[in-house]
């Protein structure tokens, strides 16, 4: 038995040089990346030289001159892979892209404060904090102490990349303030080490095609492992 | 190697106990309102690809050009979340009127290599039905549809994939695999 997510998202984030005004819903539809109907019903926040920010029924786009970001709350997550691989592999293969993040974000509701604090105590016990740790105990009247945020980073033994890391972060959920936990996994890939010829859309697309689903599977396993520390 | 630094809202997150005042928070993209502006600080760590998150919402910001309020993400972002429990990849075999049959591979269980056969109603396709054709590839996800209110129901999504063309590397790898397969055949 495991907790069922209260909210679940997946995102691909790229660092590079982008032209935000290019990425309109109509342009995505024209290039067969989304449906024409989706393009027509897109909720456009802003399309300008500085930013393209809009949402479809299944994804949010935010493109600035230095980053391209797409996030979805609706599985199957592979849609993010297909769109970015087609976009950067076929349509803008020469677009400068330096780094890629494949991210998974999940909120859980644990049911009560005590369960959330129990998880916090497992991940970061109060005891090593010495005498001050004793003062971090909550009372029935006052519940205002405990773990605020914790992150663990893997930057070694990553056989699937030369440069990059995996970072997992656990913190209270602001969406479910009383009993929620927010777990994120940031799977970060540098496309090259100071070799600009490799920093392009084509290589980014190839990396995403190869790594995306492996990354999601690994992230879900990491998140499951953390959540297995507490039982519903 | 840092390509840029992330700007994170200062982490005024609640402790594992602390109950905050209600915030208009959404896991995707929600703005802070004018009365609730974060104190932004530059964190020079190299996780600049990460989705920055703070107590008041997940936001993406660039160090070069902090966005004015009007450019931040919409409150109308998808409010529903669909989290998968099990997923299959399907290949359309045949289309008959308003039904289609497909071979399915269970992606949730990597040890299950068995092909399954499924029949589906065209009306159940969640995205563009015009993508349906023989040989088309789709995903079926069974999972929980979660409303912003927290209520959830079991549901499924049938999404036809908009697959990119095969890359040169993929074609080369396929040729290599085919050659290896041919070479491995022992002729009598």
Q: What percent of chain B has pLDDT over 70?
A: 54
Closest partner CB to A6 (pick from B25, B67, B146): B146
Write out pLDDT tens, residues A118-154. 999 999 999 999 999 999 988 877 788 999 999 999 9
Bridge partners, residue A62, by sequence: A53, A69
Q: Do the Cβ atoms of B163 and B137 come closer than 8 Å?
A: yes
Closest partner CB to B4 (pick from A55, A66, A78): A66
3-state helix, strand, coil in chain A (%, to 5): 35, 30, 35
- B180 in contact with A, Cβ within 8 Å: no
Q: Which residue has the higher pLDDT, B102 or B176?
A: B102
Contact criterion met (CB < 8 Å) for B1 and A190: yes
- A120 in contact with B, Cβ within 8 Å: yes
- A28 in contact with B, Cβ within 8 Å: no
Amino acid B71: pLDDT = 30
At residue A149, what are phi and psi to the nearest 5 degrees? -165, 140
Amino acid B15: pLDDT = 37
Q: Which residue has the higher pLDDT, B140 or B80?
A: B140
The most confident of A107-111, B9-13, B46-50, B51-55, by mean pLDDT: A107-111
Contact criterion met (CB < 8 Å) for A177 and B70: no
Q: Which site among B10, B17, B19, B110 would you substitute to test the A interface, given the most A Cβ atoms closer than 10 Å to its Cβ?
A: B17
Partner A, chain B 24-63, Cβ-Cβ below 8 Å: 25-29, 46-51, 53-58, 60, 62
At residue A158, what are phi and psi to the nearest 5 degrees? -105, 100
Distance CA B161, CA B133 (A): 12
- A145 in contact with B, Cβ within 8 Å: yes
**Mean model confidence pLDDT for chain B:** 64
- What would you measure as the largest C-alpha separation in chain B, in angstroms? 81
Chain A residue numbers with beta carbons less than 8 Å from the beta carbon of B171 are none
Write out pLDDT tens, residues B85-139. 999 999 999 999 999 999 999 998 878 778 889 999 999 999 888 899 999 999 9
* B53-66 mean pLDDT: 33
Q: Which site among B3, B12, B16, B58 would you substitute to test the A interface, given the most A Cβ atoms closer than 10 Å to its Cβ?
A: B16
Is the pLDDT confidence value at B76 over 90? no
Q: Tokens at residue A85, please?
A: 């691989």
Pick from B62, B66, B58: nearest CA to B5: B62
Partner B, chain A 211-230, Cβ-Cβ below 8 Å: none
pTM for the predicted model, two decimal places = 0.79
Amino acid B167: pLDDT = 64
- A174 in contact with B, Cβ within 8 Å: yes
Write out pLDDT tens, residues A57-115. 999 999 999 999 999 999 999 999 999 999 999 999 999 999 999 999 999 999 998 99
Pick from A42, A38, A93, A61: nearest CA to A207: A93
Contact criterion met (CB < 8 Å) for A9 and B77: no
Contact criterion met (CB < 8 Å) for A175 and B169: no
Distance CA A187, CA B119 (A): 37
Determine the residue of chain A that is closest to B12 in CA distance. A148
Distance (Å) from the C-alpha of residue A70 to the closest C-alpha of chain B?
10
Q: A163 to each of A187, B6, B57, how far by Cα in Å?
A: 11, 18, 29
């Amino acid at each position: 038995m495991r907790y069922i997510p209260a909210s679940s998202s997946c995102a691909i984030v790229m660092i590079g040089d982008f032209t935000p005004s290019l990425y309109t819903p109509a342009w995505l539809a024209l290039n067969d990346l989304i449906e024409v109907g989706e393009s027509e019903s897109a909720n456009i926040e802003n399309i300008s030289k500085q930013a393209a920010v809009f949402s479809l029924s299944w994804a949010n786009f935010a493109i600035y001159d230095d980053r391209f970001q797409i996030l979805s709350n609706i599985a199957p997550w592979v849609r993010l892979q297909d769109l970015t691989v087609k976009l950067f592999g076929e349509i803008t293969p020469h677009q400068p892209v330096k780094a890629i993040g494949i991210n998974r974000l999940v909120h859980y509701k644990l049911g009560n404060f005590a369960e959330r604090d129990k998880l916090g105590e497992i991940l970061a016990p109060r005891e090593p904090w010495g005498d001050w740790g004793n003062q971090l105990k909550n009372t029935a009247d006052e519940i205002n102490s405990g773990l605020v945020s914790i992150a663990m980073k893997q930057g070694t033994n990553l056989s699937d990349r030369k440069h990059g890391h995996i970072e997992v972060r656990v913190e209270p959920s602001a969406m479910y303030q009383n009993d929620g936990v927010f777990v994120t996994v940031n799977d970060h890939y540098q496309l090259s080490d100071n070799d600009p010829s490799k920093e392009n859309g084509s290589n980014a697309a190839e990396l995403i095609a190869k790594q995306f689903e492996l990354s999601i599977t690994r992230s879900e396993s990491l998140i499951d492992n953390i959540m297995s520390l507490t039982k519903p | 190697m840092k390509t840029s630094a992330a700007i994170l809202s200062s982490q005024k997150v609640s402790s594992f106990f602390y109950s905050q005042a209600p915030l208009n928070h959404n896991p995707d993209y929600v703005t802070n309102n004018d009365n609730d502006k974060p104190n932004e600080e530059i964190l020079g760590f190299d996780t600049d690809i990460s989705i920055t998150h703070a107590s008041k919402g997940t936001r993406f910001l660039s160090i070069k050009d902090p966005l004015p309020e009007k450019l931040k993400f919409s409150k109308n972002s998808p409010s529903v979340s669909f989290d998968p429990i099990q997923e299959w990849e399907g290949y359309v075999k045949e289309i008959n009127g308003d039904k289609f049959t497909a071979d399915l591979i269970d992606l949730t269980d990597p040890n299950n290599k068995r092909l399954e056969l499924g029949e589906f109603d065209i009306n159940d396709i969640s995205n563009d039905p015009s993508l349906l054709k023989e040989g088309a590839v789709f995903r079926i996800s069974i999972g929980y549809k979660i409303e912003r209110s927290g209520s959830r129901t079991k549901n499924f999504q049938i999404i036809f994939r908009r697959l990119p063309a095969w890359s040169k590397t993929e074609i080369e790898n396929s040729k290599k695999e085919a050659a290896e397969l041919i070479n491995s055949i022992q002729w009598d």
